[in-house]
């Protein structure tokens, strides 16, 4: 049996380091010792697979998937894009999950006590599976900014949390999507854990007028890039 081709090494300069003191919670939740590099084996180069049986027909429509007696209040948006790998190839049939606050910045979570009200028609979570081109789409309302206990007056920019799998456990990624033009992006200690301005730009969804539905829903575009994989040009001897 030949060795399977490994995934490209993760570029740690692209990602936040573990210890980012301006984001206070990271101080006690970051390892002090260096991570140990592992030769990828089958455990790292495989990962769970999901199918349409796993999800429901409304799961990618946050305007409808928790509606009780009407639509949620807020700016109606489509968030769409593609999941690609570093070789610019689409990643089809992969699970994309999102969660977010409502238009007022309040989460439907028993631990969120922010005074902005819950929206009775908004849950705030969605999931979908990419198509053959790696494309995905959600319909939701644009989340509001909210305060958090870091510095006394810190506010998170409007954001949607995004979780994606790829085909291998080593591609597993959770990130956050921000919105073009938000002045809180530059002030946010969590955003600013990312050392590379280009990396922050990559998390900033663009207004996409071409995908906007006139008189109905405005659209943002957000592409996600997962780790790429080497081609097996030369096989290892067993």
Partner 1 sequence: MTQPFDYLRETPSQTAGPYVHIGLAPGAAGFDIYDRELGWDIAGPNAKGTRIRIEGLVIDGTGSPIKDVMLEAWQANAAGHYAHPEGGGPVEEGFRGWGRVITDFETGAWGFDTIKPGSVRDGSGKVHAPHISLWIVARGINLGLNTRLYFDDEADANAADPVLGMIEWERRRPTLIARRTESDGKPVYRFDIRIQGEDETVFFDI
Name the residues annotated as catalytic: 107, 146, 156, 159, 161
- Contacts of residue 73, Cβ cutoff 8 Å, sequence gap at least 6: 102, 103, 119, 121, 122, 141
Footprint of partner 1 on 137-176 (CB under 8 A): 161, 163, 167, 169-170, 172-176
233 binds partner 1 (CB under 8 A): no
117 binds partner 1 (CB under 8 A): no
With residue 234 as reference, give the H or E element that holds it: none
- Contacts of residue 68, Cβ cutoff 8 Å, sequence gap at least 6: 120, 121
61 binds partner 1 (CB under 8 A): no
The smaller minimum CB distance to partner 1, of residues 111 and 115, is found at 111
For partner 1, what does the binding mask look like between residues 64 and 103, x meaning CB under 8 A? -xx-----------------xxxxx------x-xxxx---
The smaller minimum CB distance to partner 1, of residues 10 and 75, is found at 10
For 45, phi and psi rounded to 5 degrees? -95, 0
Q: Are 188 and 154 in contact (CB under 8 A)?
A: yes
10 binds partner 1 (CB under 8 A): yes
221 binds partner 1 (CB under 8 A): no
Footprint of partner 1 on 21-60 (CB under 8 A): 23, 25-33, 35-50, 54-56, 59
Q: Which of 135, 203, 211, 218 binds partner 1 (CB under 8 A)?
A: 203
Q: Which of 76, 108, 187, 206 binds partner 1 (CB under 8 A)?
A: 108
Rg of the chain over Cα atoms, rounded to whole angstroms, equals 19
With residue 146 as reference, give the H or E element that holds it: strand 146-148
Q: Are 143 and 158 in contact (CB under 8 A)?
A: yes
């Amino acid at each position: 049996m030949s060795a399977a081709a490994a995934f490209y090494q993760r570029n740690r300069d692209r990602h936040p380091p573990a210890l980012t003191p301006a984001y206070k919670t990271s101080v006690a939740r970051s390892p002090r010792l260096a991570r140990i590099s592992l030769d990828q084996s089958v455990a790292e180069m495989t990962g769970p697979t999901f199918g349409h049986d796993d999800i429901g027909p409304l799961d990618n429509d946050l305007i409808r998937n928790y509606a009780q007696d009407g639509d949620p209040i807020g700016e109606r948006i489509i968030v769409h894009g593609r999941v690609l790998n570093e070789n610019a190839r689409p990643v089809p049939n992969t699970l994309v999950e999102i969660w977010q606050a409502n238009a007022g910045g309040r989460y439907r979570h028993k631990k969120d006590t922010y005074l902005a009200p819950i929206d009775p028609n908004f849950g705030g979570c969605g999931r979908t599976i990419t198509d053959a081109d790696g494309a995905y789409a959600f319909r939701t309302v644009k989340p509001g900014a909210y305060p958090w206990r870091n510095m006394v007056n810190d506010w998170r920019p409007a954001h949607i949390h995004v979780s994606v799998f790829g085909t291998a456990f080593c591609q597993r990624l959770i990130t956050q999507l921000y919105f073009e033009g938000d002045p809180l992006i530059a002030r946010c200690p969590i955003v600013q854990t990312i050392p590379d301005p280009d990396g922050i730009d990559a998390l900033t969804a663009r207004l996409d007028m071409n995908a906007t539905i006139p008189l109905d829903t405005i659209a943002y575009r957000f592409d996600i890039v997962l780790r790429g994989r080497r081609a097996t040009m030369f096989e290892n001897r067993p």
